[in-house]
A and B are shown apart, each in its own frame.
Chain A
Amino acid sequence: MSNNKVITANELTKTFGDFVAVDHISFEVEKGEIFGFLGANGAGKTTAMRMLCGLSMPTSGKATVAGLDVYTENEKIKRSIGYMSQKFSLYDDLTVKENMQFYGGIYGKKDAFIKSKTASILQELHLEKEANVLVKSLPLGWKQKLAFSVAVFHEPEIVFLDEPTGGVDPVTRREFWNMIYQASANGITVFVTTHYMDEAEYCNRVSIMVDGRIEALDAPAQLKQQYHAASMDDVFLKLARKAVRAAD
């Protein structure tokens, strides 16, 4: 296996009873890549992501993350990844600083590291004045940016983002993507699901999931060419209309 492949999935499948949520998907993600994971609601994106993060046990197939097996080395994988879920999952009743301290601490980071990293993130996000403010009193856009910073606080190899910009205004979305580029430039591989097709254009490569299967996987420019579409929006609509599974 090449060292450049930080995520590999081979016929990865997850079933819930009769329902095949993720149907034999195979793909590879290279180091430092921004990999877009697209699909309609209920297409199986989150389930696939949860299997890679060690939150959900695959039914069959193979997968490695950071060179580690998702079946047997799932706890080791967790040291190398960051995760930002669909739900906002920082502690509302802790302050901005306390959240960073907590997540840094449970990843086993040293006090000095936590201190300097906290200071640099606060500066980047222009949140110095809000350092001791409870997270619940921040506006949503700020919370999302903070959640991303916390997800990469421990400097993971890969960060998984599950619809990170849902419900966020366009300006903040743009700022959010600047942060993603920054992380990618620092060598962090970004695995991101989204519903916004303009965001798909920002990715190095995208895969489009329909009914649990990967229907297309390539760079946005190639996909547009292949499907004779003017934008990623058209590509997505052409593929997603094939879906038989009802969106939830």
Chain B
Amino acid sequence: MPEFVMYEDAFRRIDEELRRLYQLSNAKLVFLVDKNGQLIASVGETRNIDTTALASLTAGNIAATGGIAKLLGQKEFSILFHEGERDNIHISLVANRVILVVVFDQRSSLGLVRLRVKRSSQVLEQVFQEMDRMKPEEKTTKELSPFADITDEDIEKLFG
């Protein structure tokens, strides 16, 4: 069972890039989800939005589209765009492992979003590549795993 572990440094760089994208693309909301539907980070007007559900549905959307692509003999569709009456949503795959989502309205445009997403994707791709290259010993020295001294009793307690 492989785990996806996000450390402080990578998270800070991802968050920074999402903030930049949010500002430069005049977006309402920018977020990053892993392909299994876990929200990694978000920036923008998230107060009235259930980002957890949004993350899960986005991943479902990408998974379904990927399924359609396969049936049509395509590797994948790397960009999805949904146009709404007020808000639009631009969804793209980064490094074939995470999903970058930009929600925007008439203050921005599809062209601008596409351009900025492309640039941010390159930065994010690099962060993920570096994460993959990190050696196990580098990972463990940064911080102790929360599971290192966890007892069965701690687990039992969690379930009341």
Q: Do A and B bind each other?
A: no
Residues of A within 8 A of B (CB): none
- Interface residue ranges, B against A (CB under 8 Å): none
